[in-house]
Each structure stands twice: as structure tokens, then as C-alpha cells.
Amino acid sequence: MNWTETIEMLNYLTESNYLCAAGAILAFALLLILLVRRQPKKIVAYQTENGRVMVCRSAIVELIRTSCEQLDDIAKPIVKIKVKGKTTHFDVRIQLKSGGRLRDIEQTLQGHLRQNLTENLGIENLGQINIVASGFKSGRIQASSPITSKEQTAEPVLEIDESAEPNSTAALKETLEKKPL
């Protein structure tokens, strides 16, 4: 197959029938992706003989956000919920504030969330609670000179005794003896 035959084959694909079919396939693929990736609006907390008890996604997100607000080292939590079978999994994306230690925050937050989701909302089939550090929020930077950043050195302050004569060596000696360095 040479170059001319390849161009002729591609010209057939630009006909309206082929373009419509390609557009329909692309729209169907996009629809499938959106349906698979969308967040559930309600999650089954537990089931009784009378029926299922559901929890709204917004209630779960609010509980997770208020839990994150209680920790000083976390900012801007984003919650993603995945339901696989009967098990509900959570991805909590957080930004660490300056001074926050991810290991400590992860243990505290996962334990707190697991307890609140099971006790308060009654979610029985709780899966993984993944904590994802999505950023770092730095604290305020204070300007400092290179000399004072390592050690604070005390500079002697020279005061002049105004009762003595000006330009007097004795007055200067007397002032230096009164002030220890």
C-alpha cells in the first residue's frame, strides 16, 4: 500500500456515515465513563427486615468535613465515595498545614472517621478510608536577618551620662562600668 492508496482510504472515512458512527461511539463511551465515575447520592447504611436505611452523600461529606475541621493541621478536605458490592470505601483528600505530620493525622483521622461513620450514621459495611495528602499549606514566613537566624546576639547599648561633661573620657568609662556586656 502506497501513500496515494492510504489517502484514498482516509477520504472514505470523512463521509457523513462514518463520521456519524464515530460520533455516536464517542458519545456512548463518554456516557459510560460518566456513569461509572459518578458519586452515589445515597449509601445503604444497614438493612432490616422492614427495609433499607440510607444515608445521603451530603450527610457523609458534612461529617467528614467537620471531623477534619477539628484537626488544626488539615485544610480543604475533599471526599470521594466508592461503593463496591455492599462495601463503601472513602477517599479523603486533604491539604496539610505547616507543622502537620501525616502519620499522626492519618491515624487520628481514620480512627475518628471509622467510629463516627459506624456509630453516628450506622454504616455497617465500611471498607477502606484512604487519606490522600493532596497538598501542603505553608505557614507564614517571618523575615529574619542571617545573623539573628542562628543565634540571638546581644549588642551592647552605650548610654551617655548627661550629668558628666561632654566628650569626657571619665564619663564614658563610668557608663561602661555601670552596664555589664
Grid coordinates standing for 89?
470505601
Span 135-145, pLDDT tens digits: 877 666 667 65
Across 28-32, 94-98, 110-114, least confident range: 94-98
* Average pLDDT estimate for 79-103: 84
DSSP result, 114-171: HHHHHHTS---SEEEEEEEEEEEE--PPPP--HHHHH--PPPPPP---TTSPTT-HHH
Q: How many CB atoms lie within 10 A of CB 69?
A: 11
Give CA–CA dist 112/77, Å, rounded.
Answer: 15
What confidence score (pLDDT) does residue 174 get?
62
Span 35-64, pLDDT tens digits: 766 667 888 888 889 998 888 888 888 888
* Average pLDDT estimate for 21-34: 85
Grid coordinates standing for 40?
452515589
* Average pLDDT estimate for 78-105: 84
Span 118-160, pLDDT tens digits: 888 888 888 898 988 888 776 666 676 565 545 555 555 555 5
Work out the angle at residue 65's Cα, subtended by the Cα atoms of residues 59 and 69, and round it to the nearest 5 degrees.
145
Q: Domain coordinates of the chain in residue numbers? A: 3-37, 42-137
CATH number assigned to the domain covering 42-137:
3.30.70.1350
Return the SS3 of 3.
Answer: helix
What confidence score (pLDDT) does residue 163 get?
56
